Amino acid sequence: MEFKHKPVMLKECIDGLEIKENGIYVDGTLGGAGHSREIVKKLKSGQLIGIDRDLEAIEAAKNNLKEFGNVKYVHGNHDDIKNILENLQIQKVDGILLDLGVSSYQLDERNRGFSYLGENELDMRMDKTQKLTAKDVVNNYPEEKLANIIYEYGEERFSRQIAKNICKERKNKEIGTTKELVEIIEKSIPKSKQKDGHPAKRTFQAIRIEVNNEIEPLYNTILDCINCLKENGRLCVITFHSLEDRAVKKAMVDAKGKCTCPSDLPYCVCGAKSLGKIITKKPILPSKEEQEENPRSKSAKLRIFERNED
């Protein structure tokens, strides 16, 4: 299958980055290079660093950007951005983009195990070199931990019943395929409550987030990205999940800093330090036209931070 991924809020991201033709930019979620292509087109003497956990994505991006000689490809995780830049002997960059969504390719390529349609091996790894898979989570996690993950990451109100039935079923035999997991989920949710999309959607999302550790490091990742920016450098982050957005927002608010001194003091004595300013007081949302054209963009939110040290 061809690696396709329609970039969400493309114009808004490019505008938000305020690209300089001689700047250094990082696409921390390279994917099929939809965003990256627009970034690198604006560069002359500048450089683009594309990072992705998925080797298939990197190969697709190399093909899509083959006419550009100023792109550095890195198989890695944006959570390690400080180490990645250090290894490239780059101290600071002019802009960073993180698109935290799962690519259309990964969702549609059934043998990756992200989709609840069809019958494929339970995998869900964005980086196929890592050990933990969805099969490991489903078959080895304790019932309470499984239920908590499905509830917290999937916002699934039938999480307890789903976890209970998973554990009951796996006593008989290993749950190895997406179809087997879907059947357990469907039995766990009353038919009358299965009207809001596919009944397995939330559980699959939750397991995917757990397998790829998408939420836990995110707060520190955002702070690391901000610290890797030059003066006036921009960080653009697209989220698709409320927990992602919450972590990104908190990190940006904390990076902005807040003076806690009494209002009657003539100057700050609390030592509050600001790393810059939040450009988006409220997150930017996709236009109605984009949502109609690309339904997967509906839950997307874009937040932008600019580095300015006091």
* Whole-number percent of the chain with pLDDT over 70: 95
* The pLDDT value given to residue 109: 61
Task: Tell me how far apart the alpha carbons of residues 268 and 90 are, in angstroms, rounded to a whole number.
Answer: 34
Number of Cβ within 10 Å of residue 139's Cβ equals 18
> 153 with 215: CB under 8 angstroms?
yes
Task: Tell me how far apart the alpha carbons of residues 205 and 102 are, in angstroms, rounded to a whole number.
Answer: 10
> What are the residue ranges spanned by the domains of the chain?
10-100+216-307, 123-211
**DSSP letter at 21?**
T
E strands along 248-300, which residues?
276-278
* The pLDDT value given to residue 107: 60
Tokens linked to 18: 């305020």
* The pLDDT value given to residue 273: 83
Element (H, E) at 48: strand 47-52
Task: Examine the pLDDT at 52 and tell me if it is beyond 70.
Answer: yes
Mean pLDDT of the chain: 91
User: Which residues have CB under 8 Å from 252's CB, separation 6+?
Assistant: 222, 226, 278, 303, 305
pLDDT in tens, 262-278: 878 777 777 778 899 99
* The pLDDT value given to residue 59: 93
Question: Could you tell me how many residues make up the chain?
Answer: 310
Number of Cβ within 10 Å of residue 106's Cβ equals 22
Out of 16-20, 30-34, 179-183, which region has the weakest mean confidence (pLDDT)? 30-34
Mode of pairing for the β-strands spanning 301-307 and 229-239:
antiparallel
| Rounded average pLDDT over 127-132 | 91
* The pLDDT value given to residue 205: 92
Sign, Cα dihedral of 289, 292, 293, 295? positive
Fold assignment, 10-100+216-307 = Rossmann fold (3.40.50)
pTM of the prediction? Answer: 0.87
* The pLDDT value given to residue 106: 59
pLDDT in tens, 146-196: 999 999 999 999 999 999 999 999 999 999 999 999 999 999 999 888 777
Q: Which CATH number applies to 123-211: 3.40.50.300, 1.10.150.170, 2.40.40.20, 1.10.390.10?
A: 1.10.150.170
